Amino acid sequence: MKRIFSNTVFALVVGLGLRLFFVLELPTNSGDTVFYEQIATNWLRHHVFAMNVQGAVTPVDMRMPGYPGFLALIYVLTGRGGESARQRVMLAQIVVDLLGCLVIARLAKILACASENEARSGKAYTVALWLAALCPFTANYTAVPLSEVFACLWTGLACCILAVALGRVKKPDFLVSGCHLPLRPHMSPVQLTGSVERAALGAGLVAGVGALFRPETPILLIAAAVVFAALLFRLHEFVRWFWVTGAMLIGCLVVLSPWALRNLRTFGEVQFLNPKYSTLPGEIVPYGFMAWEKTWLYRVRDCYLVPWKLNDEAINVHDIPARAFDSREEKQRVADILEQYNEDLTLTKEEDDAFGKIARERVRRHPLRIFVWIPVARAVVIWFSPRIELLPISGDVFPLAQKFDEDPADQGFTVLLFFLNLVYLSLGVWGAVKLWLSRDRQTPDWRSSEARSTEDPDAPTVDPGAARVLQGSGVPGIANRRIGIVDPASAAVRPIVAFFLLFFLLRTAFLTTLETPEPRYVLECFPALIALAAQLFSSKPASLTRDAPIFHRSVRGES
């Protein structure tokens, strides 16, 4: 049984079954699906990245080209397009998501190697593969034509490359040998030194590809640049930090340059990413309306009632939560504005300015609510949501007794998914804490005492005979150690953990500034989260320390 569950193919087959269930039994779509399909169709038919606006094919830059390009490829291969090709699109996304599971497993293995736990890295790989294959929150998005599965894949791959680069800052031979990773086993010191810059360039290229699907993907490069600064500045390698950061930036810009050139040619502006506010030509950017909704909106269910109806459906003031109003007079003002809007379902500049005035008044009255409590509430919602937005269930849990009487299955499934999401988050946090607090492992340096004393007068002497005993002791990693009497396990793994946590923090902070707090936008954090969670199931083998008996016997020349 143990051999079966450690089999990669078996885990992928189980993951395939879960994803086929979602695709065949619970397929769905979203508002963005129609946009992507229309752009892909026009790209094939008219060779223009465009949408149909009032019957005319109109070039747009409101979506990145990666996912429409994927749809266009599927349309060409299957001979179908639009809604008729959705199931084939979803089946292709299953393959992409299973590749993402393998990337997550590889990331977990890299973390295990960084924590000086090479002997158990295989178990971390297996556990991460199962956690990824059975994760319903990522698997569910194979059943909807959206870019999430690609965003997770490219984010996970970029994290793998950056994890190796960060590990090599203090340990240039990190993953050069061992761990059965596809890396060159023999590299010169010059090659080892430059490997960080090359890995940074590769991470920039991969993040650039990810940005073609989700424009906020380069946030992980910002997090990596900060951690690189913390590492390299302590080593007084300021110039090297500029080289590493520049390599990431160049790699990302190289991939995005064709898109920027297209925007320059079409719209007369250099735009590497899509604009922050997605509007069609001729539409006004509702700055006032968005400023007003940011003073109260933090739940995704409210998006269906207010912002996602804008310029399309009537908005009822009674559907707006009470927290959106500080007084009856303010509610009446909003009702008056909406009454004018509902006449033609088009937000005018005057109506938008009126919403902006209300927003400024609310900010002056309660600045902490706007700049602290609402962003915190949004962060809590997007991380701790049961993630049922694609499922045919209401998600209503409270009041408990009433909802249980009305629909116990609906309530029970929502609660189950809430706790399952909590389990994934808890395991990830626990894994991060375990890696951060991992005990230092001290390994002897068997250079000559003369060579070592010139660098560290307090270092204990280990003669060549003791070195041979240590090399033949069978302790993992001793034969490959080249430098240092104290080689802490955290030397490579702590920067990687810090990078992951900073990435989570920066991405969450960015998402709280968006118009709509959708829980799906944190799925890009799940590759790193699952890789961290897998570390809980890979225990450390005994390490060789100065207090270990074999160390003292070896130093004394005993066997």
- pLDDT tens profile 152-198: 999 999 999 999 999 888 766 566 554 444 444 444 444 445 688 99
Q: What is the mean pLDDT of the chain?
A: 83
| Distance, CA of 559 to CA of 352 (rounded, Å) | 83
Quick one: average pLDDT of 489-494?
A: 71
Quick one: average pLDDT of 363-378?
A: 93
| Distance, CA of 183 to CA of 214 (rounded, Å) | 29
Per-residue pLDDT at 119: 59
Q: Which of these ranges, 200-214, 258-272, 326-340, 542-556, has the smallest mean pLDDT?
A: 542-556
Contact (CB, 8 A) for 158 and 528: no
- Angle, helices 219-234/490-511, rounded to nearest 10 degrees: 140
Cis amide prior to 399 (ω within 30 degrees): yes
| Distance, CA of 431 to CA of 421 (rounded, Å) | 15
| Distance, CA of 110 to CA of 178 (rounded, Å) | 11
- Please give the residue that has the higher pLDDT: either 313 or 395: 313
| Distance, CA of 405 to CA of 400 (rounded, Å) | 9
Per-residue pLDDT at 174: 63
DSSP conformational letter for 59:
E
Per-residue pLDDT at 387: 87
Length of the chain: 559
Tell me the three-class secondary structure of 487-514, residue by residue. CCCHHHHHHHHHHHHHHHHHHHHHHCCC
| Distance, CA of 134 to CA of 76 (rounded, Å) | 31
Per-residue pLDDT at 492: 76
Contact (CB, 8 A) for 62 and 32: no
Cβ neighbours around 320 below 10 Å, total: 20
Q: How confident is the model at residue 489 (pLDDT cuts 50, 70, 90)?
A: low
> Read out DSSP for 415-478?
HHHHHHHHHHHHHHHHHHHHHHTPPP------S-HHHHHTT-TTSPP--HHHHHHHHTS--TTG
| Distance, CA of 197 to CA of 348 (rounded, Å) | 51
The H helix count followed by the E strand count for the chain is 24, 2
User: Whose structure tokens read 């959708």?
Assistant: 518
Per-residue pLDDT at 182: 45
Per-residue pLDDT at 175: 61
Element (H, E) at 227: helix 219-234
pLDDT > 70 fraction of the chain, expressed in percent and rounded:
81
Per-residue pLDDT at 551: 40
Q: How confident is the model at residue 547 (pLDDT cuts 50, 70, 90)?
A: very low
Per-residue pLDDT at 450: 46
Quick one: average pLDDT of 536-557?
A: 49
